[in-house]
């Protein structure tokens, strides 16, 4: 018998999440039946979508949604032998039983000197999101100028680096001086702290006086409205996320950007990485190759201890992380 600890959503978030919204539940798991495996979490991911999807897909008392990198510790399914590693969407839990249907084995021949935690980051969902946003949504071309916000985070840091690999000029914004220094280290051409500038319009114009061909938008809200004004004619926007509004209890109202979009003939596409799931195998190999060649730096912000999941999640929403926010059990 194994005891599984899980974090549940006690109460739907009202505004920014707080400690009392979460509670630990402990339950005994039965032995795996034929076809099943018992999994033990090694690394868990904390991501912005958990805040967004909690409103849409969860009810109070549910285990917090999420993915983790887990090890198979008992197996009655020959596809997943004991000791193998998988990515699973079983939520914020230390142990779980699976029939294998929703498990993704980590890439075969994962190099020993690369942390398996990257399967939740640059060589996992956030990396794929950056890659698909650039290639499938924006169709970014050599010589173009790209703007990315939340640029020092899991998705943003990959986006900027892939754009550099493709020979583009990259402008990034992030929320601290340490993050701006990190973006410079990654090779961003221009980077600024959106929290200390006096005018976003001026900062964007200074970084690229001729405007932007492409905008990879992770933030939404006011930032997007200002950035759209500085797109070039026929500019393209990949709407990846809108973290600036996820914690709102009431929808924000702002200027309406439709005349700008119309006038500049902009193309704006919202997307989820899952649209290109059929390409994941080949895409993960490319991300791993860039990582091994030193072209893709995969920084992580690791919080130790399963008991610190809520703190890690709230810290990520607050902007504590440089790179991918991860919890190591
Ligand atoms: N479409 C998809 O398939 C997909 C997949 C993954 C993620 N996403 C989206 O991509 C975005 C980034 O996700 P991620 O996993 O890479 O997270 P992340 O950037 O690693 O972490 C979130 C970051 O957002 C920034 N932030 C928080 N509140 C903000 C605000 N009010 N204004 C501006 N920035 C704010 C913080 O950085 P600062 O210090 O810079 O503020 C924080 O570090 C999110 O919108 C997420 O929902 C979409």
**pLDDT tens figures, 280-293:** 999 999 999 999 99
Largest CA distance in the chain: 64
**Residue 265 scores a pLDDT above 90:** yes
What average pLDDT score do residues 145-166 get?
A: 98
What average pLDDT score do residues 94-100 get?
A: 98
Note the residue count of the chain.
329
Identify any residues that bridge with 169 across adjacent strands, giving them in sequence order: 145
* Residue with CA closest to ligand 1 atom 28: 244
Domains of the chain: 2-121+298-328 (3.90.180.10), 125-274 (3.40.50.720)
Predicted pLDDT at 214 = 99
Residues lining ligand 1, CB < 6 A? 47-49, 126, 129, 150, 152-156, 174-176, 179, 218-219, 240-244, 271-273, 316-317, 319, 321, 325
| Residue-averaged pLDDT of the chain | 97
* Residue with CA closest to ligand 1 atom 47: 241
Predicted pLDDT at 254 = 84
Q: Beta strand 2-9 with 231-239: parallel, antiparallel or unpaired?
A: unpaired
Least confident of 84-93, 219-228, 245-254: 245-254
Predicted pLDDT at 306 = 98
Q: DSSP letter at 93?
A: B
Other CB atoms within 10 Å distance of the CB of residue 159: 33
What average pLDDT score do residues 299-305 get?
A: 98
Please tell me the distance between residue 48's alpha carbon and the centre of ligand 1 in angstroms. 6
Contact yes or no for 65/91 (Cβ under 8 A): yes
**Residues of the chain with pLDDT > 90: what percent?**
98
- Token pair, residue 109, equals 């021949």
Look up tokens 């754009």; give the residue. Answer: 163
**Residue 242 scores a pLDDT above 90:** yes
Q: How far apart are CA 190 and CA 200, in angstroms?
A: 14
Predicted pLDDT at 253 = 87
**pLDDT tens figures, 64-92:** 999 999 999 999 999 999 999 999 999 99
> 273 vs 24, 54, 139, CA distance in Å?
31, 19, 15
* Residue with CA closest to ligand 1 atom 29: 244
Q: How far apart are CA 329 and CA 322, in angstroms?
A: 20
Predicted pLDDT at 1 = 83
pLDDT tier at 96, thresholds 50, 70, 90: very high
Q: With H, G, I as helix, E, B as strand and everything else as coil, classify residue 155.
A: helix
**Residues of the chain with pLDDT > 70: what percent?**
100
Predicted pLDDT at 190 = 98
> Alpha carbon 129 to chain centroid distance?
8
Other CB atoms within 10 Å distance of the CB of residue 210: 10
**pLDDT tens figures, 179-203:** 999 999 999 999 999 999 999 999 9
* Residue with CA closest to ligand 1 atom 38: 175
Please tell me the distance between residue 69's alpha carbon and the centre of ligand 1 in angstroms. 21
pTM for the whole structure: 0.98
> Alpha carbon 255 to chain centroid distance?
27
Predicted pLDDT at 41 = 98
Please tell me the distance between residue 150's alpha carbon and the centre of ligand 1 in angstroms. 5
What average pLDDT score do residues 236-244 get?
A: 98
Contact yes or no for 313/303 (Cβ under 8 A): no
pLDDT tier at 304, thresholds 50, 70, 90: very high
What average pLDDT score do residues 155-168 get?
A: 98
């Amino acid at each position: 018998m194994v005891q599984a600890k899980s974090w549940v959503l006690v109460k739907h978030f009202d505004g920014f999440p707080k400690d009392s919204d979460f509670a630990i539940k402990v339950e005994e798991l039965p032995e795996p039946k034929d076809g099943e495996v018992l999994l033990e979490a090694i690394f868990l991911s904390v991501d912005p979508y958990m805040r967004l999807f909690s409103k849409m897909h969860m009810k109070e008392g549910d285990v917090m949604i999420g993915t983790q990198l887990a090890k198979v510790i008992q197996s009655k399914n020959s596809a997943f032998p004991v000791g193998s590693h998988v990515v699973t969407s079983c939520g914020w839990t230390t142990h779980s039983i699976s029939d294998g249907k929703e498990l993704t084995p980590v890439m075969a021949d994962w190099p020993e000197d690369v942390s398996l935690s990257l399967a939740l980051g640059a060589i996992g969902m956030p990396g794929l999101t950056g890659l698909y946003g650039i290639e499938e949504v924006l169709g970014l071309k050599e010589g173009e100028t790209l703007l990315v916000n939340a640029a020092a985070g899991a998705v943003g840091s990959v986006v900027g680096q892939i754009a550099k690999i493709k020979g583009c000029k990259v402008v990034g914004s992030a929320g601290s001086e340490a993050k701006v220094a990190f973006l410079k280290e990654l090779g961003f051409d221009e980077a600024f702290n959106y929290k200390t500038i006096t005018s976003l319009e001026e900062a964007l114009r200074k970084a690229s006086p001729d405007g932007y061909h492409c905008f990879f938008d992770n933030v939404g809200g006011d930032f997007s409205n200002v950035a759209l004004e500085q797109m070039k004619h026929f500019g393209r926007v990949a709407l990846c996320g809108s973290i600036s509004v996820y914690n709102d209890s009431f929808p924000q109202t702002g200027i309406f950007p439709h005349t700008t979009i119309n006038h500049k003939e902009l193309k704006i596409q919202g997307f989820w990485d899952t649209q290109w799931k059929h390409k994941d195998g080949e895409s993960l190999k490319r991300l791993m190759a860039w990582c091994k060649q030193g072209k893709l730096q995969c920084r992580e912000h690791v919080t130790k201890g399963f008991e610190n999941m809520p703190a890690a999640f709230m810290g990520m929403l607050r902007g504590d992380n440089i790179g991918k926010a991860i919890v190591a059990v």
